[in-house]
Structure 1
């Protein structure tokens, strides 16, 4: 137990865990709520408690399939394991005499519903169900354990509030929709961080085309809070994705070390002295050009609309001006770092990475790591051949990230049946110029 554990406060992102299921949730204010399955949870009572506290779900008055519950912090005795409660049960040698005739349980659905309303302790509910089972004591220990886990999953009434971490966020995002984070699994993310050499000092260049902010969040997490390291986060869109960064509840001084800029805009500003070079660089990048929604064009857009019959409010104009100023300041900060050059380059692109890599290699110091991730090995093979023909990068190697998850239990260790073995490909090397 930590001496001074971090406490939950309003405005934080938290992770709700019920058994093995995890969910990211913002605890915006005391009226915040969350939905877990069919249960509607009021989060008011978690405020001020330490992270990793366990709360008991207390059903409010009223019936129905969609239950509304409040949370009550648990005592140590309430957190006992269901297997300790029923550990004295006898078991059979095998299941040959067990017949699934639908009559092995003395309690009917109405009896169980009534029991659930009267009893708030899931352990007692399961204990009653086991007592009224005609076949439980005849099952093998393995079958009994599976039976208890199934019932525990159905009647489990406890929720743990966990502090968001890179590993948990990666697992949640990957489970929800792998395509939204380019299929980057936690083992792939750890390799990207390791190969790129991100630490608490130095400057780092990252280009990614949509990972819910997972890659920049992982970089900031590796850089730490009390550090002078900086990162330029380039992206092809108008607004950077920052969900993972926000979810980590980082202090402001840490998030300020990440300069998020549109790759098209920042390169235009960097090469502003040479229009020909600007166009040549931008055309080769093969990334979407900014639309009229780009902050750099918004002031002009609003000026053209000011002649309309409906005048724009002063507050709206002020907000747009601030947004434009912020965008310009971020571009200037990024250009200063581009001139200093970087200690590593990481690219995770949906686009073909050849031109992006060749353009951004200019800004990397000699003898520094370069890491390119893609879900398609063919494009990395083409990039491998391209870089091999130059004298810019050496020690190139292309790897496939393959992982098999195993269930490790006594006398029954085996790989999991449903899984996705591949998590993209990595091309790594070191600059030599």
Structure 2
């Protein structure tokens, strides 16, 4: 990923990920004079233009905001860092002495001789965070008595508070998922990175085929992940069904994908596209029936006409009706008059039809975007899909039953839900109907570990419920 970052440069209009220490933030670089906020720091983004992704920038405070006082917003410009400025803080300070253990250290609040006011004045006078940390270390009475691990932990804590470097990353699925999950997990249905990777793996998404997705609110995370797995140089297509009027595409836009790849995602309202699909197929079936029944009706009408004409001629003969010479003479003139009336009426009708068609063509408006998307989706639904993924906040049973007929045989089906009971009921129904085989219901449990020399341990805080997956394969 680092090699890819170095080959791309930051352009105006791109989404970027700003990292300071362990904190990451998704931001759109939409204006040259745009700014972003990181805590009490306000950063001007002008300096990152045309710089390669993965670069580290130094926060340089502006002179006008150095003495802004406590609680005020500090404005900073960004300047590209050199390799010497990115050295370890321990190496910069030249710390080599440490204690054997911490048994004689007492946390009585008197180990630091500098007070809050002194540190704030020091922060206003110093331009670099290393100088501030150096002064704090020099005025600490117990720093050199701490073990090397405790010293490093102390420096990390001070770095986090006075750290002056930020790193600009190119948005990826992993970074976007971590940011959304940390900010508000409910907005992405609590889909964690490990759960997302299993959804993509079980669904068999690749650069070939057409895929069907239904999701009811993940900020565009699922369509972005599937489209990212499809790749750029492919002909695969994704039909993204959603229950609302406007699809959520925040994560999809944040990936900065080329327009050609974004156009492979067809976003449609599930109710609208199903209604359109069944209407088209109903009209096709009615047209076929009309052609068949229309031919039979014409034949019957002709036979009835012939038989009725024979009956009338026989009846007139039996009644002894004789045509007179005057009637015979009047017949040609009547025929000519009727023919002229028919011709006049026909010409008027043709003219009226032409005017009507011209008016219809002039008043016809081009189809809207959602109508075009529905038409594209209906064509793919008639061909059927190579995979089906459902991530529903509601009960997924009715949705799966409605969409299962659009999946080819022996293709994967993946259903995600935050409720285990809903997937258990669906599991029993599918087992009974024998429409999906190789069913398995799983729940994910992930715990992060810190891996450091002599300090490997699980993290104290971890997420709880992150949903359940029901997977299987369609049966012909």
Coarse TM-score class (shorter-chain normalised):
0.7 to 0.9
Give 1:331's aligned residue: 374
What is the CA-CA distance between 1:227 and the residue it aligns to? 0.6
- Trace 1:316-395 onto structure 2 (pairs within 5 A): 325-395=368-438
SS at match of 2:471: strand
2:234 is the alignment partner of 1:227: yes
2:67 is the alignment partner of 1:67: no
2:261 is the alignment partner of 1:218: no
Give 1:314's aligned residue: none
What is the CA-CA distance between 1:86 and the residue it aligns to? 3.7
Larger deviation: 260-269 or 42-51? 42-51
Superimposed CA distance per residue, residues 215-254 of structure 1 (whole angstroms, 9 cap, x where no aligned partner): 0000110001111000100000000000000100110000
Give 1:419's aligned residue: 462
Kept after mapping to 2: 8 A contact 1:403/1:422: no
Give 2:471's aligned residue: 428
2:270 is the alignment partner of 1:270: no
Give 1:92's aligned residue: 99
SS at match of 1:189: helix
Give 2:16's aligned residue: 14
Give 2:303's aligned residue: none
- Trace 1:196-207 onto structure 2 (pairs within 5 A): 196-207=203-214
2:107 is the alignment partner of 1:105: no
What is the CA-CA distance between 1:39 and the residue it aligns to? 0.7
What is the CA-CA distance between 1:125 and the residue it aligns to? 1.6
TM-score by length of 1: 0.87
2-structure distance, mates of 1:85, 1:417:
31
TM-score by length of 2: 0.79
Of 28, 38, 41, which aligns to 1:39?
A: 41
SS at match of 1:211: coil
Superimposed CA distance per residue, residues 131-170 of structure 1 (whole angstroms, 9 cap, x where no aligned partner): 1111101112222111111101000000000000000000
2-structure distance, mates of 1:168, 1:247:
11
1-structure distance, mates of 2:33, 2:88:
31
What is the CA-CA distance between 1:40 and the residue it aligns to? 0.9
Superimposed CA distance per residue, residues 45-76 of structure 1 (whole angstroms, 9 cap, x where no aligned partner): 11110001111111112223321111111111
Of 391, 402, 407, which aligns to 2:450?
A: 407
Give 1:396's aligned residue: 439
What is the CA-CA distance between 1:402 and the residue it aligns to? 0.8
Superimposed CA distance per residue, residues 310-334 of structure 1 (whole angstroms, 9 cap, x where no aligned partner): xxxxxxxxxxx78x61010000000
Of 75, 82, 86, which aligns to 1:79?
A: 86
SS at match of 2:454: coil
Larger deviation: 92-101 or 399-408? 92-101
Cα gap change, 1:374 to 1:37, in 2 (>3 Å): same
Kept after mapping to 2: 8 A contact 1:89/1:137: no
SS at match of 1:272: helix
2:245 is the alignment partner of 1:238: yes
Structure whose CA Rg is larger:
2
- Trace 1:166-315 onto structure 2 (pairs within 5 A): 166-273=173-280
- Count residues in correspondence: 388
What is the CA-CA distance between 1:358 and the residue it aligns to? 0.8
More helix by share: 2
SS at match of 1:402: coil
Give structure 2 stretches of 5+ with no counterpart.
Answer: 284-364
2-structure distance, mates of 1:400, 1:381:
12
1-structure distance, mates of 2:123, 2:90:
19
Kept after mapping to 2: 8 A contact 1:39/1:68: yes
Cα gap change, 1:100 to 1:351, in 2 (>3 Å): same
Superimposed CA distance per residue, residues 359-393 of structure 1 (whole angstroms, 9 cap, x where no aligned partner): 10100001100000001110000000010011311
Cα gap change, 1:275 to 1:343, in 2 (>3 Å): closer
What is the CA-CA distance between 1:414 and the residue it aligns to? 1.6
1-structure distance, mates of 2:262, 2:385:
18
